[in-house]
Every structure is written in structure tokens, then in C-alpha cells.
Amino acid sequence: MAARTQPVGYRWLLSLQTSAVRIGLYTGVGMSGVFVVWLFLANRVPFLERFALERNVAGGGLLVVLALVPVLRFLRHPRRLLLSGLLAAAVFSFAYRLLCLFFSALPDRIGAFHLFMTGSIAYAVVATLAWVGNLIWAVRGHHEPNSGHHLS
């Protein structure tokens, strides 16, 4: 009987089955796509220059909405929230670093590492607050007063 062998990258592929990894990767790719479109509109479409404030508010708002996807999905699971958020921040900062090669003034505002650290800290703070909130919720759920007993 022949032994069943697994392909070379099979274990890595199995890690993509977890929802935290998938959501993190999808969020990072989505944020990167929004940023690429935003950067393209800001630098290559001159007739939108008079709408610069509206364009920047819309682009930043879309990035924030996409960044909230792991938070809203894993609010009750802080470990998954942190994993998903860190993956999203890593993918987004990698795409930002690639864009820095084509847009020379982009790293003058914020570097890719600083962008990654900002996203990581933001997700870590939210995951910590979710963890503390879940602890409070669990303690509060276990501490129900006995309504049938009276102290006399």
C-alpha cells in the first residue's frame, strides 16, 4: 500500500483555512487596493485636484471602514482579532513599501515600517480592550444574584 504524501506547501495552505488569516489577508489586500486607487486619483487625474479634500476624506474613510472589518468580525475573539489585524497591517504596509518605489515623495510623509507599527499598535489596543471587555462580560455573567434567598 502506497503512503499518502502531502504536497510541499500543504501545511502553509492549511493555515489559510482559519478565518482570522483569511480575513486579515483580504482586509490587507482591500486596503492596498483602495490606497492604490486613491494614490492614482491624487497623482494622475489632474481635474480632480479641486476636489482634493473630498477625495482624501473618501479615501481615508474607506481605509478606516476596511480596517474595521477584523474588529467587527472578531470582537469576541481578541486573539483572532490581533492575528487578523497584524496580517492586514503587514499586507498593507508591504503594498505601501512597493508604492514608495514608484512615488518618491510618499515615504517623506510616513515610512512603511512606521505605517506597520501604527496599524499594529492600533489593532493591539483594540484587541486588548476587547479582551478586557470579554473578561468583564464573563465575570458579570457568572455573578448573578440569588433572587430566591433573603437575608433575615
Q: Which comes out higher in pLDDT, residue 67 or 2?
A: 67
The mean pLDDT of 42-51, rounded to a whole number, is 92
pLDDT band at 144 (very low <50, low <70, confident <90, very high): low
The mean pLDDT of 37-41, rounded to a whole number, is 95
What is the average pLDDT score of the chain? 90
Answer whether 7's CB lies under 8 Å from 71's CB: no
Distance, C-alpha 98 to centroid of its chain: 19
The C-alpha torsion from 128 through 132 and 138 to 142, rounded to 10°, is 160
Inside any domain, residue 5: no
Of the candidates 62, 5, 4, which has an alpha carbon nearest to the alpha carbon of residue 36? Answer: 62
pTM equals 0.82
Q: Which comes out higher in pLDDT, residue 12 or 60?
A: 60
pLDDT of residue 17: 77
Per the structure, the count of domains in the chain is: 1
Inside any domain, residue 151: no
The residue range of the domain holding 57 is: 19-140
Inside any domain, residue 10: no
Whether the pLDDT of residue 33 is over 70: the answer is: yes
Inside any domain, residue 102: yes
Whether the pLDDT of residue 16 is over 90: the answer is: no
Inside any domain, residue 26: yes
